[in-house]
Structure formats: C-alpha cells, structure tokens
Amino acid sequence: MTTEMSQKPHDRLAAALSDEMAAVSALIRERMSSEHAPRIPEVTAHLVEAGGKRLRPMLTLAAAALCGYDGPYHIHLATTVEFIHTATLLHDDVVDESNQRRGRPTANLLWDNQSSVLVGDYLFARSFQLMTEPGSMRVMQILSNAAATIAEGEVLQLTAAQNLATDESVYLQVVRGKTAALFSAATEVGGVIADAPQEIVTALFDYGDALGISFQIVDDLLDYQGQEDATGKNIGDDFRERKLTLPVIKAVALADDEERAFWTRTIERGKQEDGDLEHAIALLNKHGTLTATQADALAWAQKAKSALAPLPAHDIKDMLIDLADYVVSRIS
Amino acid sequence: MTTEMSQKPHDRLAAALSDEMAAVSALIRERMSSEHAPRIPEVTAHLVEAGGKRLRPMLTLAAAALCGYDGPYHIHLATTVEFIHTATLLHDDVVDESNQRRGRPTANLLWDNQSSVLVGDYLFARSFQLMTEPGSMRVMQILSNAAATIAEGEVLQLTAAQNLATDESVYLQVVRGKTAALFSAATEVGGVIADAPQEIVTALFDYGDALGISFQIVDDLLDYQGQEDATGKNIGDDFRERKLTLPVIKAVALADDEERAFWTRTIERGKQEDGDLEHAIALLNKHGTLTATQADALAWAQKAKSALAPLPAHDIKDMLIDLADYVVSRIS
C-alpha cells in the first residue's frame, strides 16, 4: 500500500481538489463578513476556524470535477452548501441547547442564543445570494428544495424523537432531512452546473443520498457503541436526550410488554434513573439491533458505491468509492 | 367625504386588490403546509390566523398593478415577502423572549423556542423556493439581498441597542435592516416583475424605503408617547429592554454629564429603578427629542410621497400616498 493509499479518502480528495478548496475558503471568508455588523464575522470565524472537514463542499467540487466542469461556479455552489450547513449548525446548537461542537464551546455559549439565531439567518440569506450567481434555475431549485427539506426534517425530529410510534420510515425521513438532503444536493448541483446528462446527475444524487444516510446511521450507532473521543460526544447522549434513533426503534419493534414499559418511561416520559443506559444497551444487544443497524449502514454505503457505476473511470470516482467505505469503517 | 374616502388607506388597498389578496392567501396556505411535519402548519396557522394586515405583500401587489403587470407571478412574490416577514417574526420572538404578538401568545410560548427557530427556517426556505418560480434573476437578487440586509440589521441591533455610542446613522442602518429593507424589496419587485422602466423601479424602491423608515420611527416614538392598546405593547417597553431608539439617541447627543450618567446607568448598564422611565421621558421632553423624532417621521413620509412622482396617475397611487400620510397620522 502506497503512502497515498493509506491516507484517509477525504484527505486524498482535499489534496486532489486543493486549488478549488482554497478558492472555496477564500469565498467563505469574503462572503461571511459584514460591513455593518462586526458580531457576524466574529461568530462565523469561530465556526469556520473550528476546522470542520468541509466534506459537503468537497462533494460538490468532486462531482463537478468528475463531470469535467471548467467554469468558475462550482466554487460558489460549494460555498453555498457550506453556508447552509453552518447556518443549520448554529440553529441546531440553539435547538439542542448544546455547549460543545467539534470539541470547542458553541457560539450560543460564547455569545448568546440571539447571535446564533440571527447569524444563522444571515448565513442562510448569504447562501441564497450565492446560489443565484451562476444564473441556473435548476441549481436554485435543488438548493432551495434542500433547505426546505432540512428544516422539515428537523421539525419532524422535534415531534418524532420522543414518540415510540416512530418507525423506520419516519426515521429515514428525519435522516434524509437532517443529513442526506444536503449531501445529495451537494453532489447533484456539481453535476448540474457541469451540464452532465440526466443519468449522471441522478447517479450523483443517489450517491450523496445514500452516503448521507449511511453517515447518519453510523453516527447514531456510535452513540451506543463508540469510544469517547475528541468530538466531545459521550456514549448515550442520544438516550439521555431521549432521541429515538435506529437501534432503539428496532428494539421497540421487538419489545415485550416489560421492555416497552421501560422505553415508554425512559424515552417518552423521560424519567431516567442510574443504570437505565446500561439496561438500554443490554436490550439492544438482546435483540441484536446494534448488529442490524450496522448492517443497514453497510447496505447504504454499498448503495452509494453502486450508484457511481454510470460515471466514467476517474481518480476522484475511486476516492468517492473509498469515502463510502471509510464512513462505515468506524463501525465495521 | 365619501364612505370610501373615510376608510383607512390599507383597507382601501385591500379592497382594490381583493382578488390578488385572496390568491396570496390561498398560496400562503398551500405553501406553509408540510406533508411530513404536522408541527409546521400548526405553528404557521397560529401566525397566519393572527390577522396581520399583510401590508408588505399588499405593497408588492400595488406596485405590480401600478405598472400594469398582467402575469401570474406577483402572487408568488407577494407570498415570498410575507413568508420572509413571518419567518423574521418567529425568530424575533425567540431573540426578544417575547410572550405576546398582536395581542396573542407567541409561538415560542405556545410551543417552544425550538419550533419557532426551525419553523422560521422552513418559511425562509419556502420563500426561496417561491422566489425562484418567476425565473427572474433580478427578482431573486433583490429578495435574497433583502433577506441578508434584514439579518444584518438585526445582528447590528443586538450590539448597537445598548451602546450609547450608537448615533443616528447607525440607527438608520438598523431601521433599514429590520423594517425598510423588506418594504423597499416588496415595492421594487412589483415593478421589476412588470418590466417597468428603471426610473419607475427606483421610484418604487424609494417609496418602500422611506415608508418603512417612517413606519419604524413612528413605532419607536409611540413606545414613549403612545396609548396602551390591543397590540399588547406597553409604554416604555423599549426603555425597559434597553433599546436605544431615535428619541433617546437624540437626547444622549444633547445630554450634560449628569444626564449622560443616567443613560449610561439605565441603558448601557441596565440598572433601572422606579421612576426612571418618568425621568427618561422628562429628559426627552426637556431636549425636545420627541418633537424632533416626530418631525423626522413626517419628513420620511413626505419623502415617500414625493418618490411616487414619476408614476402615472392611478387610484392605487393615490392610496399609496394616503398610506404614507396614514402611517404618521398616529403621531401627528
């Protein structure tokens, strides 16, 4: 295995697209500023410098490169995607009353909820300004539809998360909203801006959709069986926050009366005691739902890879395939 | 004076544009719904049924009618404008921790802050979907710029409101952001969608801008000299919330050392005691700043009326002129 192959696939993508990623960084800095309100660049700089992987804009650049795009607008679209993502992070931290993100204090803690809500609104508005610049109606429709789907998924999660009637199809809707909608829009607009044939655009959409779903299922699984790490996320956060995720949904479907009463008390009514998390994990193991959830994540990653079949051979295609494997490598 | 003339100008506009307003209502209902998240129409219905005057969408319809537009898209644009307005109301109530709006409990009180933030995001996204439908790049740029200016103005207000260094030019920037930007975008896109000549579009923009500024100055003035009414707003709310508005900014500029110390204590440091509001009002009267603020509001209303000069004679033009007079009639 060469040194290059041993690198993580998103690092290889970042290296292959380094000029474009630098242009995206420059455009982010330019457009996140505000002539009139100095609080805005303070808050956005805090987030931007927190050093996320910029996976979503990279997907747009990768899709555009795969389709041979040679214009300037993939940079605008990648920046749009990152602004939508950053705006939703700001609002999510208010909604979840979070104190930490990527191992650093959140903006709502460092400033206040007001700043997080309003600076998030500013970034949404900036993203809409940016998405108009390529002058493509189809691109604008894809990205504004994604923004609506994201908000809809988040609202659905508010009401579905603590409701034991939530089944796998509702879970999938929430996951498509909160995660996959932006992944699939990111890859789709990369193809659309390059004027790729519909078959290719559909393949890129399907890849982003399946990758995003797999990504979120892995996240939900790690919440029950991961290692505590630098991300500041602790085992059992979702259980303590009474979020009904796939391992629990599968366990509720297989629960006997006593188990159902346990889930009703801990998730629906939120009355949790010492030892409940351990008992919950024991129930997930008893019904094999952690293994079943892992199988689902792997199946979605496989779907992502298969979706790329219509695309021509290309270094970046190989990296996207490896990326799908990498996403699930944390759980397999 | 005929019965028709004695009606309020926005009621006459609503009557003259009743078919279009009905179409806007229908489109609002259609687009505020959500197939997947029932919480969304619950929250939006609460706001929509609260019976706002729908002044902003009416301005778009009036501008389009004045310019002889005969296509279908003024309805989409008016709905876009109302969705942006409603989204900002939802977020403002979270930011201000308000309990009442239009004499009814706010959404953040009836549901929670989470729902207000996320349903606001949903309406923003819906407004961007709507604004793409006419397929006009210029319209999209005007409306997405307005959304950015609104958010920027709100963030600026967060930091400027309690800072005695805030002068009239910063106040004007805040007011343009929080109020006038949507008024001027509303009138401007009505002209643009009708393909009106640039001189007419500029006139419509200037009317909306000046009307919005006048509207906000009146609001800020009434906070110190209004009557408590059905809107649920009380005399002195801005003072208690330490919001530096025009009457106080003018008084700070004329303050002696003792008065400055009073404003520093009550507004900057927020240490207020019984009798402070009365003392504040006495200072505003001593320096004549309520009268000076009134004069500013009247001057902006006059500017709004003068802006309409390039427009041809039309019933609706007369109503817009009367509307500018009506806005300031509450304080003159």
Provide the CATH number for the domain around residue B279.
Answer: 1.10.600.10
- Mutation choice for A interface testing from B92, B115, B118 by most A CBs within 10 A: B118
Give the separation between CA A171 and CA A20, rounded to whole angstroms. Answer: 35
Separation in Å, CA A72 to CA A61, A65, B141, B197, B289: 11, 12, 19, 32, 53
- Residue A68 burial (10 A CB sphere; 0-12, 13-18, 19+): exposed
For helices A55-66 and A18-32, angle between their N-to-C axes, nearest 10 degrees = 130
Q: Is residue B1 part of a domain?
A: no
Cβ within 8 Å, pair A155-B119: yes
Q: Specify the higher pLDDT residue, B288 or B42.
A: B288
Give the nearest chain B residue to A147 (CA atoms): B125
Backbone φ and ψ for A104, nearest 5 degrees, come out as -125, 160
Q: Is residue B189 part of a domain?
A: yes
Minimum mean pLDDT among A38-52, A226-240, A270-284, B2-16: which range?
A226-240
pLDDT over threshold 70, residue A58: yes
Cβ within 8 Å, pair A135-B132: no
How many other C-beta atoms are found inside a 10 Å radius of the C-beta of residue B240? Answer: 15
Q: Would you call A94 an interface residue with chain B, using a CB distance cutoff of 8 Å?
A: yes
Give the separation between CA B162 and CA B265, rounded to whole angstroms. Answer: 11
Q: Would you call A165 an interface residue with chain B, using a CB distance cutoff of 8 Å?
A: no
Give the separation between CA A17 and CA A63, rounded to whole angstroms. Answer: 11
Q: Specify the higher pLDDT residue, B258 or B99.
A: B258
For tokens 């900014």, name the residue: B249
Select the residue of A118, A141, A150 nearest B158 (Cβ to Cβ).
A118
B41-98: per-residue pLDDT in tens? 888 887 776 667 899 999 999 999 999 999 999 999 999 999 999 999 889 888 777 6
Cβ within 8 Å, pair A148-B113: no
The confidence band for B6, taking pLDDT boundaries of 50, 70 and 90, is: low
Q: How many domains does chain B have?
A: 1
Residue B1 is predicted with a pLDDT of 41
- Residue A332 burial (10 A CB sphere; 0-12, 13-18, 19+): exposed
B296-329: per-residue pLDDT in tens? 999 999 999 999 999 999 999 999 999 999 999 9
Q: Is residue A2 part of a domain?
A: no
Cβ within 8 Å, pair B124-A124: yes
Q: Would you call A54 an interface residue with chain B, using a CB distance cutoff of 8 Å?
A: no
Q: Is residue A166 part of a domain?
A: yes
Q: Is residue B2 part of a domain?
A: no
Q: Is residue A4 part of a domain?
A: no
| CB-based contact A78:A24 (threshold 8 Å) | yes
3-state helix, strand, coil in chain A (%, to 5): 75, 0, 25
- Both tokens of residue B122? 């949903």
B14-40 average pLDDT score: 90
Q: Would you call B34 an interface residue with chain A, using a CB distance cutoff of 8 Å?
A: yes
Residue B23 is predicted with a pLDDT of 96
In 3D space, the residue among B322, B326, B320, B324 whose CA is nearest the CA of residue B66 turns out to be: B320
Contacts of A117 in chain B (CB under 8 A): 91, 94-95, 117
A16-35: per-residue pLDDT in tens? 999 999 999 999 989 988 87
Residues spanned by the domain of A196 = 9-329
Rounded to a whole number of angstroms, the distance from the CA of A40 to the nearest CA of chain B is 7
Separation in Å, CA A215 to CA A198, A232, B190, B242: 25, 18, 44, 46
Q: Is residue B217 part of a domain?
A: yes
| CB-based contact A248:A263 (threshold 8 Å) | yes
How many other C-beta atoms are found inside a 10 Å radius of the C-beta of residue B67? Answer: 22
B219-237 average pLDDT score: 76
Q: Is residue B3 part of a domain?
A: no
Cβ within 8 Å, pair B124-A140: no
